[in-house]
């Protein structure tokens, strides 16, 4: 059996998660989504498709318009696919698009969050931006609102500190594309109220997702395993152990992975990967995180992987260039 090891991975003291006992909570009816970018638009769309009323918030009208257009395009794409498979008629598809879009209320005023039973923050992974944002969120929401961050790498506890409502704070980490990916990591801090956590967990299930429970630790489950794996692959290449292509081929054919680790880093975005690993290096110095030299250099040169057309590979849209 192939095994992945990482000498930099510090084994933390084992904390057993207690069996979750569902507490009494009010069902979520209205959802707020802060940020309509790559992740936020997918969260808003998925919630609206499941019948939730959604308050979609952005900072500027142009971002709001772009986010709503992105949602409509995504819904239309999925409904056209359903029509082509005979799952619905064109009339049903048109009705589905209209009804889903009708459940999303685009606004610029963060005070509109006071109507929401649960909110998901999905802005870029900038801790200074989040500090300002969460101060505003803390003032806007009700005392029973579930406050969730879609962060993939930052401390949920730190954001709970920023908003001044630590008992109401948890993490709801969706995966891209939200519309299709089944997993949601539901993160609890040491201060998360069980009622809040259970409400967030139930919401993820109601979206048709498969939620898992984890504590607030760097990278949670998926990224805590995935990011060190990707960084180790790049470092293998840097040390001259194997070429980029051969590292990826080894993991595709030797471990059965659908995509090699360096190609995956390119696909996700080298800037995204750098932001995560450099943040861990800064915030958790005792854990021994290091940033591969070539990763820093490529990001500095604007070679961000798939999104820029070149990283460790050259890309043609979403596929590797021939």
* Options 223, 232, 275, 294, the catalytic residue: 223
User: Cα torsion at 54, 59, 61, 67 (round to 10°)?
Assistant: -50
- CA 49 vs CA 53, 285, 311: distances in Å: 9, 43, 36
Catalytic site includes residue 223: yes
Look up 213 and say whether it is catalytic.
no
* Assigned token pair, 144: 């029973």
- Which residues face 186 on adjacent strands? 172, 213
What would the 3-class secondary structure string for 235-294 be? Answer: HHHHCCCCCHHHHHHHHHHHHCCCCCHHHHHHHHCHHHHHHHHHHHHHHCHHHCCCCCHH
Q: Is there a contact between 290 and 281 (Cβ–Cβ < 8 Å)?
A: yes
Task: Given the residues 173, 237, 275, 310, select the one marked as catalytic.
Answer: 173
Active site residue 185: yes
- Which residue among the candidates 49, 121, 185, 310 is catalytic per the annotation? 185
The helix (H) or strand (E) run that includes residue 93 is helix 90-102
Residue 173 bears catalytic tag? yes
Sign of CA dihedral 108, 272, 261, 121: negative
What does DSSP assign to residue 203?
H
Catalytic residue among 74, 149, 150, 152, which? Answer: 152
Q: What is the largest CA-CA distance in the chain?
A: 59
Other C-beta atoms closer than 10 Å to the C-beta of 60 total 9
Q: How far apart are CA 239 and CA 320, in angstroms?
A: 24
- Active site residue ranges: 152, 173, 185, 223
């Amino acid at each position: 059996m192939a095994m992945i090891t990482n000498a930099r991975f510090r084994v933390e003291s084992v904390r057993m998660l207690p069996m979750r006992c569902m507490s009494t909570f009010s069902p979520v009816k209205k959802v707020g989504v802060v940020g309509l970018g790559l992740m936020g638009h997918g969260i808003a769309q998925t919630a609206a498709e499941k019948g939730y009323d959604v308050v979609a918030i952005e900072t500027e009208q142009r971002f709001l318009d772009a986010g709503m257009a992105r949602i409509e395009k995504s819904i239309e794409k999925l409904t056209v696919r359903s029509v082509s498979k005979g799952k619905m008629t064109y009339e049903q598809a048109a009705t589905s698009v209209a009804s889903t879009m009708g459940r999303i209320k685009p606004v610029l005023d963060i005070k509109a969050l006071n109507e929401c039973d649960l909110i998901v923050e999905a802005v870029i992974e900038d801790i200074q931006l989040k500090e300002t944002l969460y101060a505003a969120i803390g003032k806007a929401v009700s005392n029973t609102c579930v406050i969730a961050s879609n962060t993939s790498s930052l401390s949920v506890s730190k954001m709970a500190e920023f908003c001044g409502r630590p008992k109401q704070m948890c993490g709801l980490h969706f995966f891209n594309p939200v519309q299709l990916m089944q997993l949601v990591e539901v993160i609890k801090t040491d201060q998360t109220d069980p009622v809040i956590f259970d409400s967030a967990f139930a919401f993820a299930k109601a979206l048709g997702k498969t939620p898992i429970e984890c504590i607030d630790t760097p990278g949670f489950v998926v990224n805590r395993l995935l990011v060190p794996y990707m960084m180790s692959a790049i470092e293998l290449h840097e040390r001259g152990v194997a070429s980029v292509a051969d590292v990826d081929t080894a993991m595709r054919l030797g471990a059965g992975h659908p995509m090699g680790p360096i190609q995956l880093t390119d696909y996700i975005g080298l800037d995204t990967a750098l932001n995560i690993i450099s943040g861990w290096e800064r915030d958790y110095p005792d854990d021994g995180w290091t940033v591969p030299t070539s990763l820093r250099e490529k990001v500095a040169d604007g070679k961000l992987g798939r999104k820029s057309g070149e990283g460790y590979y050259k890309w043609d849209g979403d596929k590797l260039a021939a």
